[in-house]
A and B are shown apart, each in its own frame.
Chain A
Amino acid sequence: MNIVVCVKYVPDATADRRFESDNTVDRDGVDGLLSELDEYAVEQALQIREKREGEEIKVTALCVGPDKAVAAVRKALQMGADEGVHINDDAIAGSDAIATSLVLAKAVEKIGVPDLVMCGMASTDAGMSVVPAMLAERLGLPQVTLAAVVETQGDQVRIKRDGDTATEVIGAQMPLVLSVTDQTGEARYPSFKGIMAAKKKPLETLTLGDLGVDASEVGLSVSWSEVADTAARPPRTAGEIVKDEDGSGATALTEFLASKKFI
């Protein structure tokens, strides 16, 4: 069985994230890492491999991103993925979800027919939560998304998820695209052994040419939507903070809410 896990390299959420002058996300000035939410996808892929002991299962970590982004693939290898593929090409810079999903789809096809393509629920930077659906569309596969619990048996996948209006169990047959949430359970830390082993694992770097994608199909200039303006939210003006003493807090709170007409 072949599992491809899509891992994104993102600016650290705790750092000061910002935009470049061309309104793309500044990916060089800010330190990055494997998107926290994609760690859950790696974890679930590894758990599937572990639960189905005896079967031949290969987990490939796939990342589309600049030089530094190889760190995301490395982390996945350290956690336990078998192989890594990094798609790196200057022409990809500034790609939106539509172009990114094209590159991912071509890379998945290049890696070989997968049984499962796994994704995080959203990337922690742009966070559109649409790449899994777009990837499924491009690969002509069904998608089963936002899983809180994942189970596989043979070529059947069953997930549980908390929908907007109901808790659902969803079933589908492989091959498919699967995205998982942070409810699936904590991701493992790389062990010392894992870190050492990762150094010997195959890690391939490919360009658009290797995938048969033309540079004119990706990048900022072919984006199907355009960011006209970005602005930092004005800092919130310092609020009033009171200490509660013998019930004074409740009275002050009530008065504040009344003054704002919430009562």
Chain B
Amino acid sequence: MSEVLVLVDHVDGAIRKPTLELLAIAKRLGSPSAVFIGGSDQASGAAEKLKAFGAEKIYAVDDAEIKGYLVVPKVEVLQQLAEKASPAAILVVSSGEGKEIAGRLAIRLKSGLITDAVDVADDGTTTQSVFAGNYTVQAKVTQGTPIIAVKPNAAAPVEEAGAGAVEEFAATISDDAKKAQIVASQPRQSTGRPELTEAAIVVSGGRGTGGDFESVENLADALGAAVGASRAAVDSGWKPHTFQVGQTGKVVSPQLYVANGISGAIQHRAGMQTSKTIVAVNKDEEAPIFELVDFGVVGDLHAVLPAATEQINARK
């Protein structure tokens, strides 16, 4: 069975959840081979986890020489591995970085590329959601090695161990690959809540919070949810940009999305419209967000949310 390369997304060796989802998808297409580009001291810990979630093979690429350089070194690693392994497909996470890697790789390998896949079938047919979630598209790569950027939550991770054979791979990195560099980096402080794009439940606040996110956050914590925000809330400085849901923020597709004090502008919808269940609390019964909801409350969020949070906590 052909290998399927999975580029591992990690922070200092800690594997992020979407990679485990990629492994589950890789198994549908062939034999999952994880590509871990990181510190040599992190490789064995990472390998254990990758193995547990189905990696048959793990290519460990020491990043000592390329750490801090953007995108292109990873493209060169994948290019060289693709030439060596002739994989059936290459999977990356559909993040900003993942898509850029995929884009450059597609040109180098003369291969078709599909981004933002929300599902991948056994035969490589992908499902995408376009035009702010108003259309679903089925597509397939027809040339070269299919390169597919898959969105978080496209599959459930499967904890079923693979062979997990670790193979060190020494890639040759060109000088040209080292031309854009991270000069400074401020790791984001953990909020202790789930990641926005990975969360099963997202509770968001907009301009209607008036800047007081406490009731939004308390509801989120009662539901074990991530916290999101509209651009109006971000532009007002109430939340950092990383909380923004929408066209120019994060696109989320959770089981449940709760919009509070958010009117439902098209750019916001573009980031949450494909959520399974949508709930809104808004004091204006004419707010367009109500066109989308499964359940809506016309009321003041500062009254409704604290009371609901109390009831939810009481039921647990």
| Chain A residues packing against B (C-beta within 8 Å) | 13-14, 17, 19, 23, 37, 97-98, 101, 121, 124-134, 136-138, 140, 142-146, 148, 158, 162-173, 176, 181-183, 223-233, 236, 239-244, 247, 249-254, 256-258, 260, 262-263
Contact = CB atoms under 8 A, between A and B. Distances in A.
A260 B256 contact: yes
A68 B199 CA distance: 42
Contact of B299 (A128, A140, A165, A244): A244
A167 to B, nearest CB: 5
16 contacts: A37-B248, A133-B101, A134-B104, A136-B104, A143-B100, A169-B182, A224-B143, A227-B137, A233-B133, A236-B294, A239-B293, A242-B297, A243-B285, A253-B297, A254-B312, A263-B315
Interface-central residue, B130, B181, B281, B292, by most chain A CB under 10 Å = B130
B238 to A, nearest CB: 15
A241 B176 contact: no
B155 to A, nearest CB: 19
Contacts of B132: 13
A241 B299 CA distance: 11
B196 to A, nearest CB: 10
B179 A224 contact: no
B69 to A, nearest CB: 9
A252 B297 contact: yes
Contacts of B308: 249-251, 253-254, 257
Interface pairs A-B: 5 shortest CB-CB: A244-B299, A224-B112, A250-B307, A130-B103, A133-B103
Contact of A98 (B113, B116, B186): B113
B134 A162 contact: no
A167 B188 CA distance: 7
B141 interface: yes
Given A101-B107, A225-B140, A241-B296, 15 more contacts: A23-B137, A97-B113, A127-B247, A128-B115, A134-B107, A165-B187, A170-B180, A231-B136, A233-B135, A242-B295, A243-B299, A244-B304, A249-B303, A251-B307, A260-B277
B48 to A, nearest CB: 21
A258 B293 CA distance: 16
Contacts of B267: 13
Contacts of A263: 223, 312, 315-316
B165 interface: no
Interface stretch (B20-28, B34-42, B91-99): B91-99
B300 A244 contact: yes
Contacts of B129: 233
A241 B290 contact: yes
A236 B70 contact: no
Nearest to B250: A164
Contact of A249 (B103, B107, B294, B299): B299
A220 to B, nearest CB: 12
Contacts of B102: 130
A226 B304 contact: no
Nearest to B224: A262
A125 B270 CA distance: 11
B297 A244 contact: yes
Nearest to B14: A165
